[in-house]
Amino acid sequence: MRHLLIRFCMIVCLVMVTGASFHLSAQIYRMGAGLCFASGYQYNSSEIGNPGFKVKTWISLDKRSTIHIVPTITVFNKNIRDAGSYTLTNYMYMGDVDGQFVVLHEGTLKLVVFGGGNVTYLNSVIAQVDEKYPIPDYAPENKSDIMLGANLGAGLELRMGPKWDMNISSKYIVSENSQFIISIEGVYYFKSRRRAYRR
């Protein structure tokens, strides 16, 4: 696991160093938001919630806009399990930093691959439903964890207009609780695509 994390974190560092060595000016010119769906797993005797809402941006490192650093924040829907005398609510939040590369560009379609690091925060909260019925001794306790992981994925970027894209991507997170995530995003360009590429 440690070797995988090191390798994928090196992707992000390599992109940043390459951009600096060639005097490439980084620029943020688009933002994306959308939904993601996780394969999920058990945490503290209950499931995590779906779907997640994500916000991301692209930091371009070259004039052709084929190399990017992509930071992302994702908040997943909470999952509530009613156990009668108590409820167990699971929350999950993610932060990602990926290096993204365009490997194919045909007309209005781009194929991208990416890899990088992931931080996942899990929080499980136990709450009493009614004061008349105490939480039993066998019930789980409040719990929280921070997990580090590595991302590996690919996606399609489809041009919808001068300032709009639609993206579909999938990635696998290698961590203590590995999972597969599929995302659908709408992307807005702050300025026209032509002006964004001509720097």
Contacts of 126 (CB under 8 A, 6+ apart): 86, 87, 88, 135, 139, 140, 141, 142
State pLDDT tens for residues 150-175: 999 999 999 998 889 999 999 999 99
Count CA within 13 A, CB hemisphere, residue 195. Answer: 9
State pLDDT tens for residues 93-109: 999 999 999 999 999 99
For residue 130, give the DSSP letter: B
Q: Is the separation of the CB atoms in 70 and 98 below 8 Å?
A: yes
- Domain architecture of the chain: domains with CATH: 2-189 (2.40.160.20)
State pLDDT tens for residues 3-13: 444 454 554 45
Predicted local confidence at residue 192, as pLDDT? 57
Q: What is the mean pLDDT of each run of 10 residues along the chain (199 residues)?
A: 47 47 61 93 90 94 89 95 92 96 94 96 93 88 95 96 93 93 93 51
With vertex at residue 102, the alpha carbon angle to CA 96 and CA 108, rounded to the nearest 5 degrees, is 115
